[in-house]
A and B are shown apart, each in its own frame.
Chain A
């Protein structure tokens, strides 16, 4: 066995194979023009709807307007929801088309595949966030005290979390019908309890306890921190770390569900 062959056959993560896989996923996306258009434009249009909804609602002096508060939060929720859905369907396709089984017979490690998806959709989410944040702050006049770059960073972290949970959820779906129904199961409870509808400290104790273990809560808190503070706060960095940690945990669990040998 040659040294090159030994190196190729290791089961550890390879940056080269991860990048090749991310490139492949992005090329698949590139052929799907409508999906690209929807990814880039849809969140801005929905945000516009919210802007028009609250345009004429008066704001109490010294408080953030409803749109500033909700719009900012939505910048973190859109990428999470969209990437969760896109990834769970993409991974399910990989399973049902036989390409997953084939990939598992090649030198590609399971984590290479998952990280490749994370990288590809993370990049897609970054483009989406740049468009959405750009339009929100210029056209809709969304007021953010902190750095716009931090808003984009948090949006990308949320997207990667969505990707990781989508990869994990797809393991439990046999059909597309099942896969799309994991969206309400995984996403809606997190949305209800994330602190946007009711601030977390005003929830019942047991609801707070649940909210505190759901990663989206931290994503929303991070955005709220950027919303009021001109500089990055320690709380915000902790929140971002929690979101990233949850994404890594979900990826590890997803890797464990990818069985090379099946019955």
Chain B
């Protein structure tokens, strides 16, 4: 099966600083790919590139067979930014309905998306009056509503209680089973175990592109965090 996302030789500069140093990888369709790495490793920049809002120095990024950010992709790719990007002065339902209308969909699909993120009970509340975790879920609903084929999620589970986190990961896997390609970033390694595939990013370099099982084998540890550290040290020894 063709890759949903192909990246080759991707270089991105922000200001004078080089943020991504020639990344190359492919993301298979219908899977949850985790983008893991510490804060400042370039995760958000890479995700912005995938949805076509990041200026790129060089390299190629192809999503669903088209260059990232092509007009044809805008109804097929969903993006959830790290900070919830919804209208705080609208209710949950009004936010979902507005974004639904941008994809040519009705309030029925909007209400379904609100239900998917477990916010039906708060649908009539202003986003301003919600907790941080709830706001994040409103933001997610506004991306789910379009039924995107590729869903790019920047740290969607930050600040959520463990029960909700598990529920969201179940939702991500349900979407993947239905054919959606998900790219989910996180800076906590315990979420890596929930992904089908992993991209490990550090200082703008791709440290590893594998599966959780493979990473455990390569890093010689059942603990993914430990395995990650082993890989980092091995890389630094090679460099030294």
- Report chain A residues within 8 Å CB of B99: 106
The reply on B72 being an interface residue by CB < 8 A is: yes
Q: Is the CB of B88 within 8 A of A5?
A: no
Which applies to chain B's interface (DSSP): helix, strand, loop or mixed?
Answer: loop
- Report chain B residues within 8 Å CB of A262: 53-55
Looking at A21, A23, A31, A99, the one whose CB has the most chain B CB atoms below 10 A away is A99
The reply on A104 being an interface residue by CB < 8 A is: yes
The reply on B164 being an interface residue by CB < 8 A is: no
The reply on A263 being an interface residue by CB < 8 A is: yes
The reply on B89 being an interface residue by CB < 8 A is: yes
Binds B, one of A8-16, A62-70, A133-141: A8-16
- Report chain B residues within 8 Å CB of A9: 71-75
Supposing A20-B98, A107-B102, A262-B55 touch, asked if A99 and B87 sit within 8 A by C-beta, the answer is yes
The reply on A34 being an interface residue by CB < 8 A is: no
Looking at B74, B77, B94, B103, the one whose CB has the most chain A CB atoms below 10 A away is B74
The reply on A174 being an interface residue by CB < 8 A is: no
- Report chain A residues within 8 Å CB of B217: none
The answer for the CA separation of A10 and B70 in the assembled complex, in Å, is 10
The reply on A55 being an interface residue by CB < 8 A is: no
- CB interface residues, B 44-84, toward A, < 8 Å: 51-56, 69, 71-79, 81, 83-84
Q: Is the CB of B89 within 8 A of A102?
A: no
The answer for the CA separation of A98 and B90 in the assembled complex, in Å, is 15
The answer for the CA separation of A11 and B70 in the assembled complex, in Å, is 10
Which applies to chain A's interface (DSSP): helix, strand, loop or mixed?
Answer: helix
Supposing A9-B71, A9-B75, A262-B54 touch, asked if A106 and B146 sit within 8 A by C-beta, the answer is yes
Supposing A8-B103, A98-B83, A106-B146 touch, asked if A263 and B55 sit within 8 A by C-beta, the answer is yes
- Report chain B residues within 8 Å CB of A106: 74-75, 99, 102-103, 146
- Report chain A residues within 8 Å CB of B87: 24, 28, 97, 99
The reply on A6 being an interface residue by CB < 8 A is: yes
The answer for the CA separation of A98 and B51 in the assembled complex, in Å, is 14
Select which of A4, A23, A104 is within 8 A of B53 by beta carbon. Answer: A104
What residues of chain A have their CB less than 8 Å away from a CB belonging to chain B?
1, 4-6, 8-11, 16-17, 20-21, 23-24, 27-28, 31-32, 97-99, 101-108, 260-263
What residues of chain B have their CB less than 8 Å away from a CB belonging to chain A?
13-15, 51-56, 69, 71-79, 81, 83-91, 94, 98-99, 101-104, 126, 142, 146
Can you name 5 A-B residue pairings with CB atoms under 8 Å?
A4-B104, A24-B94, A97-B88, A98-B84, A107-B74
